[in-house]
Structure 1
Amino acid sequence: MIPNRQSIVKGAASPQIGVAELGVRGSWRMAQTLVAVYPRALKWLVQWRRPTPAEVRELFEALGATYIKLGQFIASSPSIFPAAYVEEFQRCLDQTPSLPFGKIRQIIEQDLGQPLSAVFSHIEPKALASASIAQVHAARLITGEDVVVKVQKPGVQAVLTTDMNAVYLVTRIFELILPNTDKDAVAGLVSEMYQSMIDECDFRKEADNLDAFRQFLSDQRNTAVVAPKPYRQASGARVLTMERLYGTALTDQGMVSSKADPAEGLFNALNTWFASLTQCAFFHADLHSGNLLLLEDGRVGFIDFGMVGRIKPESWQAMFSLFMGVSEQNYSMIAEAMVVVGITRDEVDVAALSADIERLFVGMNDLEPSAVLGNGAGDGINQLLTDLGAIARDYGIRFPRAFTMLLKQFLYFDRYMELLAPGADIFRDDRVELFLR
């Protein structure tokens, strides 16, 4: 079993899974895994070759929720995994057919411990969205508030626990039998991924994140930004009911509301995020444009708090230097900050590293901001991070994952700035309030 994780399954702060459920679902899951893996593995053995990144990605998608999340973890960790795999797993599909509403009703009533009619006056049978772990429905509470209801699909945590224990066991075996492998290097990463996915499966943690961020906004007297209110009476471990925010993606150039100025909204969002880095317990770690809504009244809505990050205080000065280096295109500053933030056993040639970084950013600067942002989920940003991670690995530098998450959000804002406020400088514009020092 993954060490020090028993409380995740049995503790009061996590969804409860019965031993019988783990046993039955675990056995069935192992059979499903063998059926998916065996023909592919046999083909690779017969052809005596390694699977391509595309074949691995297709296998992960066939294996379902856990492996899709693993794929997304790989895609968001360019400082850890090889570029070919990071690039391929950008395509890892997390859109799945929605479950019949009868099953969703059953899950909601079971998790909340009362009939649907006791909580909601109406809930849309057709899902707004459906992914591997959960699907979302529009609804209205009996007290009249418009909400969205995020419902976890059945058996997700049992499958995840079975899958991750298998992955952990395999990685431990490989660490023992392969020479020159750092002890616990891969297994420790698996444990981190497991913890991240388990946290995502307990919707009470996301509700806690929402409450904490809303309290942060209140303490800051920030009325320009809003986060959805979680409704605890209509939420549980597998059901999260949140205030429904009406708006469009911040970078949507089609916004026509006379009260909403995308550029002003961007600065408000940027200032809020900067403030959260030092004055909130965490930072939002998935701020692609779809998670920043420009509301009709001009406020910006931060949504989807399933992925958050934390950074150690002693790293802040280097982080500030790196941000400033990116903004000023000061490649020596970026290189020096990378060496400080990263983990390396080698002596780093900072001048050569600076030159490699310069080539990367000069190529990015030749692209239009919309091209770098890609399809709205930041494909271009992901590619930039992949390339930066590859450069770092060439110099023996390994970044903590929280750093990569943090840098990714900053790069999002840097691109949004070029798109919505051309010519503005994050570190010199009077509209930007820095809270990093």
Structure 2
Amino acid sequence: MSVIRQQTVSSAQTLDFPLQRYDAAAIARYYRSRPWEIIGRALTIIFSFLNFLAGIQWDKWRHQEEANKFKRASQLRQILTRLGPTFIKVGQALSTRPDLIRPDFLEELIKLQDQLPPFPTETAFAIIEAELGQPVHQIYRDISPEPVAAASLGQVYHAYLATGEEVAVKVQRPNLLPVLTRDLFLMRWAASWLAPWLPLNLGHDLTLIVDEFGTKLFEEVDYLNEGRNAERFAENFRETACVKVPAIYWRYASQHVLTLEWIHGFKLAGTECLKRADTIDTDAVIRIGVTTGLQQLLEFGFFHADPHPGNLFALEDGRMAYIDFGMMDQLDEETKEALVDSVVHLINRDYVELAKDFVKLGFLTPDVDIMPIVPALESVLGDVMGESVGNFNFKTITDRFSDLMYEYPFRVPAKFALIIRSLVTQEGLALSLNPDFKIVEIAYPYVAQRLLKGESPALRRRLVEVLFKDGRFCWDRLENLIAIAQSDQSFDLLPTAQLGLQYLMSEEGQFLRRQLLLALTEDDRLHTEQVQRLWRLVKDDLQPARLWDVAVGALTEFSLESAASLFPPVAALTTSPRD
């Protein structure tokens, strides 16, 4: 056992330079002086896929595609598995895309999520003892003799702590760092000369995408970082009853070993099993996935960048559990606000402003003339509302955009590679569980509710932007926003009404007050029809007793100074001495 422990502990030092974080330049310097390692690996990759593609072509020539389809699917999975963690990660991403991958291939790729060959338990237990400094039997009262799941970067054991808690024990694969760095070097080298031949105008950003992927992989192999990510994620969702995050047992955690709470539930990787579970509402599962995904991107700016179905569980009590927080990413406030803006402009079908959002987000360069692009955006995105996921998804958008990419200078910013991966997973989950489920009809109510609630000055500014166009108040937009928000039956209009009243009475709401008065008396007539339509829309939610409570709540902080700001002439009378 001591020999194994020494080999395991020293495996991270196989590289001749200390490397705790991804450093493309340092990796390049190392492997350029060792071309024999790179050439051998490159030839292995090339011949693996050439053999696979030759097999598919041979099946076509012999008209045996249907007969050999499962054989080829299994062959692809085996190739990715043999090539190791980097290629397994690629396969995991593809396994979430039933619209891109044939069903026979999809079944095999799904196995990459947690049905990979494990490494020996003897080695895993040696790593645990070396990392935690205690014999395994002293830490865990009971631990499974074999791993219950094996993933690309590690494997998991089912155990009970000496104090009785049921836990999962993650142990990282040995000798992982050299494998990752070698593949990342080859990927980056390939990206530098393949970029001009690839579609979607990836261009020079392709190497940045590889760098982003490398950075996240290095973060993922640090289990202490994963534990911190899990606790931060749990804190963000502390008031969300439908989300479960396993607790971390820090006493039994290290860079290569992580002990966390055991989760009982249905893994979303087994969608057929999930559909057969009488206690699970699959539409509710999709709703939670979409809503929490939007919260991560638009509210918290801290999102799970690897939420493949193997990392998501549906619990019998209706909650969704997230696990595996190794690959996370953070959006800055400017990017987060630009994303909210883009959704607002999409809701309003304001494609000029949407094109400007693409510039802010980096999909278009600042020097691009956006006006010729606007009609193209309208043709691609004009029918998004009301489309089901099966008819309108990322694949559909990609297909529609592909023709535009050669005509207009769109590109994929490196920082959006993980965002797209996260969104793709949510879409793939919806497609697997219910191809007719309308994701946009969950996403739009969420955004509408956030705008109507206006918890922050930034959101209140965006609400005003939604409600006004060319300086005129748009009654129809307010009606649509309320109607969209009400399509989610859990939405309660009264708290929003209270916040709205408080905002109108505040100094910040002065512009909106003035514009509402102008809108009500526009064209020298009182616009009672619009008010009546709004009333018919909200009257069922505004019951007299509750409405009184809302009014009292809104007036709680309504001081004399606030009243003076509402009625300037009265203010003059109450604050100025008589002549």
> Which residue in the other structure is 1:33 paired with?
41
| Unpaired stretches in structure 1, ≥5 consecutive residues | 1-5, 15-21, 45-53, 78-82, 373-379
Distance 2:445 2:45 in 1: 54
Q: 2:241 matched to 1:256?
A: no
Q: 1:382 to 1:243 in 2, by over 3 A?
A: farther
Q: 2:402 matched to 1:390?
A: yes
Q: 2:378 matched to 1:354?
A: yes
Equivalent residue runs for 1:154-193 within 5 Å: 154-169=174-189, 185-193=205-213
* Cα distance, 1:303 vs structure 2: 2.3
* Cα distance, 1:188 vs structure 2: 2.9
Is the 2:96–2:309 Cα contact (8 Å) retained in structure 1? no
Distance 2:36 2:135 in 1: 31
Distance 2:440 2:345 in 1: 17
Distance 1:132 1:413 in 2: 20
Which of the two has greater helix per residue? 2
Query: Which of the residues 228, 232, 236 maps onto 2:254?
Result: 236
Q: 1:165 to 1:253 in 2, by over 3 A?
A: closer
Is the 2:202–2:412 Cα contact (8 Å) retained in structure 1? no
Distance 2:78 2:350 in 1: 38
Query: Which of the residues 360, 384, 404 maps onto 2:420?
Result: 404
* Cα distance, 1:325 vs structure 2: 6.3
Helix, strand or coil for the counterpart of 1:304? Answer: coil
Equivalent residue runs for 1:92-107 within 5 Å: 94=112, 95-107=115-127
Q: 1:9 to 1:141 in 2, by over 3 A?
A: farther
Q: 1:333 to 1:100 in 2, by over 3 A?
A: farther
Farther-moved stretch of structure 1 (164-173 vs 97-106):
164-173
Helix, strand or coil for the counterpart of 2:224? Answer: helix
| AA matched with 2:41 | T
* Cα distance, 1:228 vs structure 2: 0.7
Helix, strand or coil for the counterpart of 1:427? Answer: helix
Distance 1:237 1:10 in 2: 14
| Unpaired stretches in structure 2, ≥5 consecutive residues | 1-14, 23-29, 53-72, 460-579
* Cα distance, 1:355 vs structure 2: 0.9
Distance 2:249 2:264 in 1: 17
Farther-moved stretch of structure 1 (233-242 vs 271-280):
271-280
Is the 1:101–1:125 Cα contact (8 Å) retained in structure 2? yes
* Cα distance, 1:209 vs structure 2: 0.6
* Cα distance, 1:280 vs structure 2: 3.5
Is the 2:117–2:150 Cα contact (8 Å) retained in structure 1? yes
> Which residue in the other structure is 2:172 paired with?
152
Bigger RCO (CA 8 Å, 6+ sep): 1
Equivalent residue runs for 1:238-387 within 5 Å: 238-248=256-266, 252-257=274-279, 272-277=292-297, 280=300, 282-288=302-308, 291-324=311-344, 330=349, 332=351, 336=355, 337-338=357-358, 340-345=360-365, 346-348=368-370, 349-358=373-382, 361=384, 365=387, 383-384=395-396, 386-387=398-399
Distance 2:224 2:245 in 1: 16
Distance 1:138 1:244 in 2: 8
* Cα distance, 1:425 vs structure 2: 4.9
Distance 2:377 2:236 in 1: 38
Q: 2:439 matched to 1:427?
A: no
Q: 2:226 matched to 1:206?
A: yes
> Which residue in the other structure is 2:163 paired with?
143
Bigger radius of gyration among the two: 2
| AA matched with 2:375 | A
Is the 1:392–1:398 Cα contact (8 Å) retained in structure 2? no
Is the 2:301–2:333 Cα contact (8 Å) retained in structure 1? no
Distance 1:126 1:160 in 2: 25
Q: Give deviations 1:214-234, integer Å, cap 9, x for gaps.
A: 22234xx44442211111222
Q: 1:342 to 1:103 in 2, by over 3 A?
A: same
Q: Give deviations 1:221-253, integer Å, cap 9, x for gaps.
A: 444422111112222212222111212257834
Is the 1:417–1:424 Cα contact (8 Å) retained in structure 2? no
Q: 1:351 to 1:317 in 2, by over 3 A?
A: farther
Q: Give deviations 1:103-128, integer Å, cap 9, x for gaps.
A: 22222222222211121111112322
Q: 1:99 to 1:334 in 2, by over 3 A?
A: farther
Q: Give deviations 1:183-226, integer Å, cap 9, x for gaps.
A: 964433332221121111112221111011122234xx444422
Is the 1:129–1:135 Cα contact (8 Å) retained in structure 2? yes
* Cα distance, 1:294 vs structure 2: 3.2
Distance 1:309 1:108 in 2: 28
> Which residue in the other structure is 2:519 paired with?
none
Q: 1:290 to 1:421 in 2, by over 3 A?
A: farther
Q: 1:383 to 1:169 in 2, by over 3 A?
A: closer
* Cα distance, 1:136 vs structure 2: 1.8
| AA matched with 2:409 | G
Distance 1:162 1:96 in 2: 21
Distance 2:277 2:316 in 1: 9
Matched pairs, number:
396
Q: 1:425 to 1:270 in 2, by over 3 A?
A: closer
Distance 1:231 1:324 in 2: 42
* Cα distance, 1:420 vs structure 2: 7.4
Helix, strand or coil for the counterpart of 1:293? Answer: strand
* Cα distance, 1:173 vs structure 2: 7.6
- Return the TM-score normalized by structure 2: 0.54
Cα RMSD, aligned residues only: 5.3
Helix, strand or coil for the counterpart of 2:444? Answer: coil
Q: 1:245 to 1:60 in 2, by over 3 A?
A: closer
Q: 1:118 to 1:342 in 2, by over 3 A?
A: same
Q: 1:303 to 1:31 in 2, by over 3 A?
A: same
Q: Give deviations 1:35-94, integer Å, cap 9, x for gaps.
A: 6247569999xxxxxxxxx999986554222233356679999xxxxx999x99988673
Is the 2:248–2:259 Cα contact (8 Å) retained in structure 1? yes
Q: 2:88 matched to 1:68?
A: yes
Helix, strand or coil for the counterpart of 2:331? Answer: coil
* Cα distance, 1:277 vs structure 2: 3.6
Is the 1:331–1:357 Cα contact (8 Å) retained in structure 2? no
- Return the TM-score normalized by structure 1: 0.68
